[in-house]
Amino acid sequence: MTIVIAIDGPAGAGKSTVGRAVAAEVGVGYLDTGAMYRAVTHAVLCRGIDPHDTDEVGAVASSIELDIDDIDGRTIVTVDGDDATAAIRGREVTGAVSAVAANSSVRSEMVRRQRDWVAAHGGGVVEGRDIGSVVFPDAALKLFVTASARVRAERRVAELGGDVDEVEASIIERDRKDSSRADSPLVEASGAKVVDTTGMPIDAVVREIVEMLP
């Protein structure tokens, strides 16, 4: 049976950790769609293209060979045969990804690739911003995983270091861009169950979600 579990929510809410744990519990694959937008952004920057150049960026999205695989709790990304796993998490990509993700040609190409991935894998846990609203509106379970901006910033700092006030400000700015863009903004999909992870250990979140499974 093909089961799709859609997980959306703002940056740093714990979606990846939760998504991987739920995928392991259900015995299906896990797809981090944010890594795909980051991979396109990386390819755009490597080519010296302006991330706001709609046509050039759209052409990159449809022409690159993009492989994505989740191994030992880590999303491994290859762009045109080169390992981009570390580069897609860097500052440059993080600063430019919202502009690339607002590009409608990029979005339609990524949505096509995400649906192909699910068809090839016989279902899966798919995580992003528009999964329950646009990519898989008929998913068996739709979740909107969130937490306060402060808590999300504290988690990011614990993982990657940095100043918590600065990280919180950049998280709020990225949420604003992701929620206000015209094409597929971050929204709570209709029928999505909201899971607020503020003050909740991740294993408790996973247990709560597994109990919701149909």
CA 59 to chain CA centroid, nearest Å: 21
| Torsion sign (Cα): 185, 183, 153, 212 | positive
Measured CA to CA, the distance from residue 91 to residue 78 in angstroms comes to: 18
Among positions 20, 38, 42, 156, the unique one binding ligand DC when judged by CB under 6 A: 38
Interface with ligand DC by CB under 6 A: which range of 93-101, 156-164, 165-173, 206-214?
93-101
| Torsion sign (Cα): 131, 136, 137, 139 | negative
Residues 162-201 that bind ligand DC (CB under 6 A): 174, 178
For residue 109, state whether it binds ligand DC (rule: CB under 6 A).
no
For residue 142, state whether it binds ligand DC (rule: CB under 6 A).
no
For residue 58, state whether it binds ligand DC (rule: CB under 6 A).
no
Secondary element (H or E) of residue 99: helix 91-101
For residue 128, state whether it binds ligand DC (rule: CB under 6 A).
yes
Interface with ligand DC by CB under 6 A: which range of 46-54, 122-130, 136-144, 154-162?
122-130
| Structure-token match 């030992």, residue found | 72
Among positions 129, 142, 155, 156, the unique one binding ligand DC when judged by CB under 6 A: 129
Among positions 5, 14, 33, 124, the unique one binding ligand DC when judged by CB under 6 A: 33
| Structure-token match 């614990």, residue found | 158
Closest Cα to residue 68, out of 35, 101, 28, 20?
A: 35
Q: Which residues bind ligand DC (CB under 6 A)?
A: 11, 33-34, 37-38, 97-98, 101, 128-131, 174, 178
